[in-house]
Structure 1
Amino acid sequence: MFELDTRSRKPIYEQLVEKLKQLIINNVLKEDEKLPSVRELAQQLTINPNTIQKAYRELESLGYIYSLKGKGSFVHPIEKSDNVEELNKVREELKRLFAEAIYLGMTEKEIESLLHEVKGGQKND
Protein backbone atom coordinates (compact mmCIF):
# COMPACT_ATOMS: atom_id res chain seq x y z
CA MET A 1 0.00 0.00 0.00
CA PHE A 2 2.76 2.47 1.02
CA GLU A 3 5.99 2.75 2.97
CA LEU A 4 6.79 4.54 6.21
CA ASP A 5 10.09 6.21 7.10
CA THR A 6 11.32 4.53 10.28
CA ARG A 7 14.23 7.01 10.49
CA SER A 8 11.96 10.06 10.45
CA ARG A 9 11.50 12.15 13.59
CA LYS A 10 7.76 12.08 12.88
CA PRO A 11 6.06 9.26 14.83
CA ILE A 12 5.01 6.22 12.78
CA TYR A 13 1.32 6.63 13.63
CA GLU A 14 1.38 10.27 12.39
CA GLN A 15 3.04 9.15 9.14
CA LEU A 16 0.36 6.49 8.79
CA VAL A 17 -2.43 9.04 9.41
CA GLU A 18 -0.95 11.37 6.77
CA LYS A 19 -0.53 8.58 4.18
CA LEU A 20 -4.09 7.31 4.68
CA LYS A 21 -5.50 10.86 4.56
CA GLN A 22 -3.72 11.40 1.24
CA LEU A 23 -5.11 8.14 -0.16
CA ILE A 24 -8.61 9.20 0.89
CA ILE A 25 -8.25 12.80 -0.32
CA ASN A 26 -6.88 11.65 -3.69
CA ASN A 27 -9.78 9.21 -4.00
CA VAL A 28 -7.48 6.17 -4.09
CA LEU A 29 -9.52 4.86 -1.17
CA LYS A 30 -13.18 5.35 -2.08
CA GLU A 31 -16.15 6.23 0.14
CA ASP A 32 -17.29 3.25 2.25
CA GLU A 33 -14.25 1.19 1.12
CA LYS A 34 -13.03 -1.22 3.80
CA LEU A 35 -9.56 -0.51 5.15
CA PRO A 36 -7.17 -3.38 5.90
CA SER A 37 -7.66 -4.80 9.40
CA VAL A 38 -5.31 -3.62 12.11
CA ARG A 39 -3.62 -7.03 12.15
CA GLU A 40 -3.28 -7.20 8.34
CA LEU A 41 -1.77 -3.72 8.05
CA ALA A 42 0.56 -4.31 11.01
CA GLN A 43 1.89 -7.47 9.33
CA GLN A 44 2.18 -5.76 5.95
CA LEU A 45 4.09 -2.77 7.35
CA THR A 46 5.87 -4.82 10.06
CA ILE A 47 4.87 -2.45 12.84
CA ASN A 48 3.05 -2.88 16.14
CA PRO A 49 -0.75 -3.30 15.83
CA ASN A 50 -1.19 -0.70 18.60
CA THR A 51 0.39 1.87 16.26
CA ILE A 52 -2.16 1.03 13.54
CA GLN A 53 -4.98 1.19 16.08
CA LYS A 54 -3.81 4.63 17.26
CA ALA A 55 -3.71 5.90 13.66
CA TYR A 56 -7.18 4.50 12.94
CA ARG A 57 -8.55 6.17 16.11
CA GLU A 58 -7.01 9.49 15.03
CA LEU A 59 -8.50 9.17 11.51
CA GLU A 60 -11.87 8.34 13.03
CA SER A 61 -11.76 11.38 15.33
CA LEU A 62 -10.88 13.55 12.30
CA GLY A 63 -13.86 12.13 10.39
CA TYR A 64 -11.92 10.35 7.64
CA ILE A 65 -13.00 6.83 8.60
CA TYR A 66 -15.66 5.08 10.65
CA SER A 67 -15.67 1.72 12.38
CA LEU A 68 -18.32 -0.96 12.59
CA LYS A 69 -17.90 -3.38 15.48
CA GLY A 70 -16.91 -6.80 14.17
CA LYS A 71 -16.72 -5.59 10.57
CA GLY A 72 -13.73 -3.22 10.46
CA SER A 73 -12.92 0.34 9.45
CA PHE A 74 -14.23 2.09 6.36
CA VAL A 75 -13.65 5.37 4.50
CA HIS A 76 -16.21 7.90 5.68
CA PRO A 77 -18.35 9.56 3.00
CA ILE A 78 -17.70 13.29 3.30
CA GLU A 79 -20.55 15.74 3.33
CA LYS A 80 -18.88 19.03 2.45
CA SER A 81 -21.24 21.09 4.62
CA ASP A 82 -20.53 18.93 7.70
CA ASN A 83 -16.90 20.03 7.96
CA VAL A 84 -17.18 23.78 8.55
CA GLU A 85 -14.72 23.83 11.47
CA GLU A 86 -12.17 21.65 9.65
CA LEU A 87 -12.56 23.75 6.47
CA ASN A 88 -11.83 26.91 8.44
CA LYS A 89 -8.63 25.35 9.82
CA VAL A 90 -7.57 24.35 6.31
CA ARG A 91 -8.34 27.84 4.96
CA GLU A 92 -6.14 29.44 7.61
CA GLU A 93 -3.32 26.98 6.93
CA LEU A 94 -3.60 27.62 3.17
CA LYS A 95 -3.43 31.38 3.73
CA ARG A 96 -0.28 30.92 5.78
CA LEU A 97 1.28 28.62 3.16
CA PHE A 98 0.32 30.91 0.25
CA ALA A 99 1.87 33.89 2.04
CA GLU A 100 5.06 31.91 2.62
CA ALA A 101 5.15 30.66 -0.99
CA ILE A 102 4.69 34.20 -2.35
CA TYR A 103 7.37 35.51 0.00
CA LEU A 104 9.76 32.82 -1.30
CA GLY A 105 9.04 33.87 -4.90
CA MET A 106 6.31 31.53 -6.11
CA THR A 107 4.13 33.17 -8.74
CA GLU A 108 0.35 33.17 -8.95
CA LYS A 109 0.61 31.01 -12.09
CA GLU A 110 2.70 28.42 -10.20
CA ILE A 111 0.15 28.33 -7.38
CA GLU A 112 -2.66 27.99 -9.94
CA SER A 113 -0.76 25.17 -11.64
CA LEU A 114 -0.43 23.35 -8.32
CA LEU A 115 -4.16 23.71 -7.72
CA HIS A 116 -4.92 22.18 -11.14
CA GLU A 117 -2.46 19.37 -10.42
CA VAL A 118 -4.24 18.59 -7.14
CA LYS A 119 -7.70 18.82 -8.72
CA GLY A 120 -6.59 16.34 -11.36
CA GLY A 121 -6.50 13.64 -8.65
CA GLN A 122 -9.93 14.56 -7.32
CA LYS A 123 -13.34 13.47 -8.50
CA ASN A 124 -15.45 16.30 -9.91
CA ASP A 125 -18.46 17.65 -7.97
Structure 2
Amino acid sequence: MLSIDKTSSKPYYEQLVLSVKESVIQGVLQPGDQLPSVREAAKQLLMNPNTVSKAYKQLEAEQVIVTVKGKGTFIKQTQDLPKDTYKIQLLKEQLYQLIIEARHLKITNEELFTWINEISSELGGDEK
Protein backbone atom coordinates (compact mmCIF):
# COMPACT_ATOMS: atom_id res chain seq x y z
CA MET A 1 0.00 0.00 0.00
CA LEU A 2 2.35 2.79 1.18
CA SER A 3 5.83 2.69 -0.25
CA ILE A 4 8.91 4.76 -0.90
CA ASP A 5 12.06 4.19 -2.94
CA LYS A 6 15.11 4.90 -0.79
CA THR A 7 17.25 5.20 -3.96
CA SER A 8 15.07 7.90 -5.54
CA SER A 9 16.20 11.51 -5.61
CA LYS A 10 12.62 12.61 -4.83
CA PRO A 11 12.14 13.55 -1.15
CA TYR A 12 10.57 10.82 0.97
CA TYR A 13 7.56 12.91 1.97
CA GLU A 14 6.76 13.59 -1.71
CA GLN A 15 7.06 9.89 -2.49
CA LEU A 16 4.68 9.10 0.36
CA VAL A 17 2.15 11.68 -0.87
CA LEU A 18 2.28 10.19 -4.38
CA SER A 19 2.05 6.66 -2.97
CA VAL A 20 -1.18 7.47 -1.12
CA LYS A 21 -2.66 9.22 -4.16
CA GLU A 22 -1.71 6.32 -6.42
CA SER A 23 -3.29 3.83 -4.01
CA VAL A 24 -6.51 5.88 -4.07
CA ILE A 25 -6.50 6.07 -7.88
CA GLN A 26 -5.95 2.32 -8.17
CA GLY A 27 -8.71 1.59 -5.67
CA VAL A 28 -6.35 0.02 -3.14
CA LEU A 29 -7.42 2.72 -0.71
CA GLN A 30 -11.09 3.64 -0.63
CA PRO A 31 -12.83 6.64 0.96
CA GLY A 32 -13.18 5.89 4.65
CA ASP A 33 -10.16 3.56 4.81
CA GLN A 34 -7.88 4.27 7.74
CA LEU A 35 -4.20 5.01 7.21
CA PRO A 36 -1.58 3.90 9.70
CA SER A 37 -0.77 6.42 12.41
CA VAL A 38 2.27 8.61 11.81
CA ARG A 39 4.34 6.45 14.16
CA GLU A 40 3.11 3.19 12.63
CA ALA A 41 3.80 4.39 9.08
CA ALA A 42 7.26 5.65 10.10
CA LYS A 43 8.04 2.28 11.63
CA GLN A 44 6.75 0.33 8.59
CA LEU A 45 8.62 2.52 6.11
CA LEU A 46 11.73 2.98 8.27
CA MET A 47 11.32 6.74 8.13
CA ASN A 48 11.45 9.64 10.54
CA PRO A 49 7.97 10.33 11.98
CA ASN A 50 8.42 14.03 11.09
CA THR A 51 8.68 13.05 7.42
CA VAL A 52 5.46 11.03 7.59
CA SER A 53 3.78 13.86 9.45
CA LYS A 54 4.83 16.32 6.73
CA ALA A 55 3.35 14.03 4.05
CA TYR A 56 0.10 13.60 6.00
CA LYS A 57 -0.17 17.37 6.46
CA GLN A 58 0.24 17.90 2.72
CA LEU A 59 -2.35 15.20 1.95
CA GLU A 60 -4.74 16.84 4.41
CA ALA A 61 -4.17 20.28 2.85
CA GLU A 62 -4.93 18.74 -0.56
CA GLN A 63 -8.10 17.17 0.88
CA VAL A 64 -6.98 13.60 0.18
CA ILE A 65 -7.15 12.57 3.84
CA VAL A 66 -8.87 13.75 6.99
CA THR A 67 -7.67 13.31 10.57
CA VAL A 68 -10.24 12.76 13.30
CA LYS A 69 -8.81 13.42 16.75
CA GLY A 70 -8.74 10.29 18.84
CA LYS A 71 -9.84 8.07 15.92
CA GLY A 72 -7.15 8.30 13.24
CA THR A 73 -6.46 9.38 9.70
CA PHE A 74 -8.80 8.36 6.88
CA ILE A 75 -9.08 8.65 3.11
CA LYS A 76 -11.53 11.48 2.45
CA GLN A 77 -14.70 11.24 0.37
CA THR A 78 -13.77 12.88 -2.94
CA GLN A 79 -16.93 13.18 -5.02
CA ASP A 80 -17.76 16.71 -3.81
CA LEU A 81 -14.29 18.24 -3.93
CA PRO A 82 -14.01 21.37 -6.05
CA LYS A 83 -11.25 21.49 -8.67
CA ASP A 84 -8.17 23.20 -7.29
CA THR A 85 -7.37 25.75 -10.01
CA TYR A 86 -4.02 26.63 -8.42
CA LYS A 87 -2.90 22.98 -8.47
CA ILE A 88 -4.17 22.59 -12.04
CA GLN A 89 -2.10 25.61 -13.11
CA LEU A 90 1.00 24.13 -11.43
CA LEU A 91 0.37 20.84 -13.20
CA LYS A 92 0.11 22.63 -16.55
CA GLU A 93 3.42 24.38 -15.87
CA GLN A 94 5.07 21.06 -15.06
CA LEU A 95 3.64 19.56 -18.25
CA TYR A 96 4.96 22.52 -20.25
CA GLN A 97 8.45 21.94 -18.82
CA LEU A 98 8.19 18.23 -19.57
CA ILE A 99 7.23 18.92 -23.19
CA ILE A 100 10.20 21.28 -23.58
CA GLU A 101 12.50 18.53 -22.27
CA ALA A 102 10.85 15.96 -24.55
CA ARG A 103 11.24 18.20 -27.61
CA HIS A 104 14.89 18.76 -26.70
CA LEU A 105 15.34 14.97 -26.70
CA LYS A 106 13.49 14.69 -30.05
CA ILE A 107 10.58 12.79 -28.48
CA THR A 108 7.44 13.06 -30.60
CA ASN A 109 3.93 13.89 -29.41
CA GLU A 110 2.94 10.38 -30.47
CA GLU A 111 5.53 8.89 -28.10
CA LEU A 112 4.36 11.16 -25.28
CA PHE A 113 0.72 10.15 -25.85
CA THR A 114 1.76 6.48 -25.83
CA TRP A 115 3.52 6.98 -22.50
CA ILE A 116 0.52 8.80 -21.06
CA ASN A 117 -1.82 6.01 -22.15
CA GLU A 118 0.50 3.31 -20.75
CA ILE A 119 0.81 5.04 -17.38
CA SER A 120 -2.90 5.77 -17.27
CA SER A 121 -3.64 2.11 -17.94
CA GLU A 122 -1.27 1.08 -15.13
CA LEU A 123 -3.15 3.40 -12.79
CA GLY A 124 -6.53 1.99 -13.72
CA GLY A 125 -7.54 3.89 -16.83
CA ASP A 126 -9.27 7.19 -17.30
CA GLU A 127 -12.25 8.13 -15.17
CA LYS A 128 -14.58 10.62 -16.84
Q: Could you say which TM-score interval applies, normalised by the shorter chain?
A: 0.7 to 0.9
Q: Distance in 2 between matches of 1:30 and 1:80?
A: 15
Q: Distance in 1 between matches of 2:90 and 2:61?
A: 15
- For residue 66 of structure 1, report the CA deviation from its aligned partner: 1.7
Aligned to 1:66: 66
Q: Write out per-residue CA displacement over residues 97-119 of structure 1, whole angstroms, 9 at most, x where no aligned residue.
A: 11211221111111111121132
- For residue 52 of structure 1, report the CA deviation from its aligned partner: 1.5
Q: Distance in 2 between matches of 1:26 and 1:98?
A: 26
**Identity percentage over the alignment?**
37
| 1:61–1:40 CA distance, 2 compared to 1 (3 A) | same
SS in 2 for 1:82: coil
The answer (yes or no) to whether the contact 1:33–1:74 under 8 Å persists in 2 is yes
Q: Distance in 1 between matches of 2:51 and 2:107?
A: 38
Higher RCO structure, 1 or 2 (CA under 8 Å, sep 6+)? 1
Q: Which runs of 5+ in 2 are unaligned?
A: none
- For residue 57 of structure 1, report the CA deviation from its aligned partner: 0.8
Aligned to 1:113: 114
Aligned to 1:122: 124
| 1:69–1:26 CA distance, 2 compared to 1 (3 A) | same
Equivalences for residues 1-125 of structure 1 within 5 A: 1=1, 2-5=3-6, 10-76=10-76, 77=78, 79=80, 81-120=82-121, 121-122=123-124, 124-125=127-128
The answer (yes or no) to whether the contact 2:4–2:15 under 8 Å persists in 1 is no
Measured on the aligned residues, the alpha-carbon RMSD in Å equals 2.5
| 1:10–1:118 CA distance, 2 compared to 1 (3 A) | closer
The answer (yes or no) to whether the contact 2:23–2:29 under 8 Å persists in 1 is yes
Give the TM-score taking structure 2 as reference length: 0.76
